[in-house]
Amino acid sequence: MFRKFKAVTLAEMMICMAIIGILAIMAMITIKPYDKTFKWLYVRIYHSIETAVFNSMMTRSKFPQTSTEFCNMLLEYINSPENNCGADDLDIDAGNSDFTEDTIKIIASNGMYLWIGSNGGVPYTHTENIDGNDVSMQYYLVFADINGSKAPNLAQRPEAVGEPWTEDSKLVDIVAFVVTDASVVIPIGPPEIDTRYMQAITIYPPVDENRPEGTHSKPGSYYWAKNDAWGTSKSVTEPKSLDFRRDFPANSPFYVDYPTANAVNAGENCTDDNSMVSPCYVKIEDYN
């Protein structure tokens, strides 16, 4: 008497292996979302904040003068199932390195956490001397955990306090942005110099009527692109040229040591003159 045994077919085995492979890739992205995933997440939140600020300020006559107003302004274009905009006592300052869940101001619908930095509930004021005159600009800080509740939930590597950031440093998932009263959102901290977070290009002015759109540089770090466009020149009409880093204490995770600056790209008609605005500008690369 023969007994029949059921076996797995080759097709069933291949389907099973494919499912296991997909799950393994998803697990790797979830557990260690570095490099390309971090770039996508970083640029996604940058453009989300940029869009919210620009569109909201179009309907306002002045920059929000309380962090509660500023938080609610962001909510006009950032979907959120939960927020604490009315609690200005949850604001943190520029020197903060401990981001706890009980101080989160906005939980975005995509899972990202947002904190707001203010000067005791009102905007910070950044001042620089340009052409012998002190000029000022108001701003808030927005801190974002770009992968939400997933690890590492750190703005600074615990083993690296006091050590300079390099492109070999282990990535952290809490990043910072300066939001100015000119409706400009400015990256600050490690993403300025680390291309694993983002890359930027310099847009050069057109040189003739056959190239009306102008040309651009190769992708590089945001800090490199800024110097390529403006060199050491500063202008309040181009807030990205200003040095907001100096408003952060030296022990802040968002105060990074800049590399040796490249010279302004005079060959592409950019300028390093404080008395005029450079026709060059910086664009952060998109990742699809």
Which element (helix H / strand E) includes 31? helix 10-31
User: For residue range 68-125, what is the model confidence (pLDDT) as tens digits?
Assistant: 999 999 999 999 998 999 887 899 988 888 899 999 999 999 899 999 999 999 999 9
8 Å CB contact between 51 and 74: no
Output the pLDDT for position 207: 73
8 Å CB contact between 287 and 43: yes
What's this model's pTM, rounded to 2 decimal places? 0.84
**3-class DSSP state for residue 189?**
coil
Q: Which two tokens stand for residue 61?
A: 């006559």
Q: Which two tokens stand for residue 32?
A: 């260690």
End-to-end Cα separation, the chain, in angstroms: 62
Q: Are strands 200-203 and 174-180 parallel, antiparallel or unpaired?
A: unpaired
38 versus 247: the higher-pLDDT residue is 247
**3-class DSSP state for residue 134?**
strand
